Amino acid sequence: MRMIGQLLSRSAVPIGVVGIILLLIVPIPTPLLDVLIVLNIVFALLILLTAMFAKKPLDFSVFPSLLLVATLFRLGLNVASTRLILGEAHAGAVIEAFGEITISGSLIIGAVIFLILTVIQFVVVTKGAERVAEVGARFTLDAMPGKQMAIDADLNAGLITEAEARSRRAEVAAEADFYGAMDGASKFVKGDAIAGIVIVVINFVGGIIIGMVQRGMDAAEALQTYSVLTIGDGLVTQIPALLMAVATGMIVTRENTEAEIGQAAARQLMQSRNALLIAGLAAIAMGLIPGMPLLAFLAIGGVLVFAASRVKARQAREAAAEVDAEAQAADPAAEGPEELMDRMRVHAVEISLSPDIVDLAAGGASDLLTRVKSLRRKLALEIGFLMPPVRTRDNVDLPAETYAILIAGVECGRGSVPRGHVLAIGTDLEQLPGSPVVDPVFGLEGKWVRTELSHAADMAGATVIDRASVIITHLSDIVQAQAARLLSLEDVRQLTDHLKQTHPTTVEEVTPAVLSLAAIQRVLAGLLAERVPIVDLARIYEALALRGKTTTDTPLLVEAARAALGPAVSARFAHDGRIRVVMFDPLLEQQMLEGKRVVDGNPQIVLSADITMNMLESARRVVGELDHSGPEPVLVCASSLRLAVHKLVSAQTGGLPVLSYDEAAAGGQTTDVVGVIRLTQPALPGVGS
């Protein structure tokens, strides 16, 4: 039985299409035509209701194909009914009943009603749905690159897995295909309306001629007979066509919300107490105008005023609940000793939320805490150690709708995430209402817009980011910048123990005989301070085993580890096998080599004040003139100068990475010189002391 059901479900549409083709060719009896007409009306009604209860357009992705099949079905019925009307002057009980009911004894009234229905379908619904489908298809295609970038950003930030990213990319592609198909399918609706009008004219004019010429009817009888049949035939096809046109309009105007159209409409229409109250009072006032039906206006106005009172009561309950929550959070007596001790302890990473946005950590599949877990996994794979657990708590001292990110109890960044809003990042957002903002991580311009306008922002080509994603992206950037502070001695011990399981000899060569865990921690922190991943821990320990036998100076050990990781260091800045580099003028670099000094184990470049300021000004100017839309540029210099140059120049150039010549060439990439730092004024002979 189950196999028969599956076979029927797979073959229903092909059999139906073959039947439609036969309907265009083979005459059918009137009883069968009645059944098919009823089936057509019910089928159109089912599609309309399905479109209304769909939560988002892709839930009814087969709609464009069904629209084509339904249009062909109606045209086939038009052909079959026309054959019967012109050939037998009778087209079944359904058509005759529709015609008689519409005309109701007056041919003119019936014709006017039919004409009004035709105009509503063709001019209003069909034309509007066609235009919306066309605009929706264009905006959806324009927004695809931004949506793909948003997916890649979430994947890189660890907010989603690779499988989720593939699913979301497939959904974006399916959405573009759907709106493209709807753009074409809407032309079927328009063509169907035109064909229906032409067929009605043919039935009416041709029927009167055939009735008078072949059947011997007089003019009045022919006009009465064929007008009833023509209007009935037009209605039984125009009504399903109107239902399909309305369904088309509903599908192409739906947003990607997780609510049915009825729920969304009720929630949004009931959100403003003032709107309901004013509308109710206006209805009552209009009822007081002499001659107006007072009872009807009073009933409608009373319902609206009652609805406004319910909205006020609901808002009062929500406000009271928020006040209670704030009072409980601010009451020190409600906290026990454990809670106070926990508040006293300094956590490695902490996210503080103002009380009005603690809903971000309320639980669920996409809340802040869940995304933090994904971020820890992602950063562990990228930088080489597990980020400490993140403590999330409320802070009544923060301004409304504000979050703060703390590292070891010190605030390192903060931002605002308004409730009921999403962040739209783009350049063409002037038409969207919202608060302008600059993204705290990438410095991009954007706007906080209402969640209801997220679809409109997508259509405008903006990248839409929810509140939790904004915080997680900010947290990811801060953790990577502060990774050196977060790497604890306990982390180094765990990393060493884990490495010992696969490389026992390497670990034994390094610790404890050559270097202590504290010394190794300083080296690893030095690598992380320049955002060099420590994923390849075995290679780092091998380099330390060799270099640690001759020196224990941390800067020299860091440079030895960087040399061992050379290909991995340069690969981070390579694009298509090429690296964009900024170099020093050879004469200036020679002066820097001559001015190099080592103070307390730290290399420094000692030049005169004029030369130093001249060089730094030139570096800032060269970096400022670079095109930052491409791969990140790097500053290259001699190996012996790299650490000193990093300390001297990097902070003055916005964190420009500094590589040695050996590191830049370690991966075999081609270097493209995009800038040269040189003295703008002649240098005095000699170097500073």
Residue 406 is predicted with a pLDDT of: 92
487 — phi, psi (to 5°)?
A: -75, 110
Residue 689 is predicted with a pLDDT of: 36
Residue 685 is predicted with a pLDDT of: 46
Q: Is 115 helix (H, G, I), strand (E, B) or coil?
A: helix
Burial label for 587, CB within 10 Å (0-12, 13-18, 19+), is: exposed
In three-state form (DSSP H/G/I as H, E/B as E, the rest C), the secondary structure along 476-510 is: HHHHHHCHHHHCCHHHHHHHHHHHHHHCHHHHHHH
Q: What is the rounded distance in angstroms from the CA atom of residue 276 to the CA atom of residue 281?
A: 9
Closest CA to 481 of 413, 567, 568: 413
In three-state form (DSSP H/G/I as H, E/B as E, the rest C), the secondary structure along 574-642 is: CECCEEEEEEECHHHHHHHHHCEEEECCEEEECCCHHHHHHHHHHHHHHHHCCCCCCCCCEEEECHHHH
DSSP-derived secondary structure letter, 658:
E
Residue 688 is predicted with a pLDDT of: 41
Question: Can you read off the two tokens belonging to residue 410?
Answer: 């010190």
Q: Is-contact 251 182, C-beta < 8 A? A: yes
Q: Is-contact 182 135, C-beta < 8 A? A: no
Residues 6+ apart with CB under 8 A from 137: 179, 180, 182, 183
Residue 259 is predicted with a pLDDT of: 55
Residue 103 is predicted with a pLDDT of: 64
Residues of the chain by 3-state class (helix, strand, coil), percent to 5: 65, 10, 25
Residue 573 is predicted with a pLDDT of: 85
Q: What is the rounded distance in angstroms from the CA atom of residue 579 to the CA atom of residue 631?
A: 8
293 — phi, psi (to 5°)?
A: -70, 95
Residue 5 is predicted with a pLDDT of: 54
Q: Is-contact 422 448, C-beta < 8 A? A: yes
Residue 267 is predicted with a pLDDT of: 66
Question: Can you read off the two tokens belonging to residue 454?
Answer: 């997220």
Which residue ranges in the chain fall short of pLDDT 50? 333-334, 365, 683-689
Can you say how many angstroms the Cα of residue 97 is from the centroid of all Cα atoms in its chain? 52
Can you say how many angstroms the Cα of residue 33 is from the centroid of all Cα atoms in its chain? 49
Q: For the whole model, what pTM was predicted?
A: 0.54
Question: Can you read off the two tokens belonging to residue 48?
Answer: 């309309």
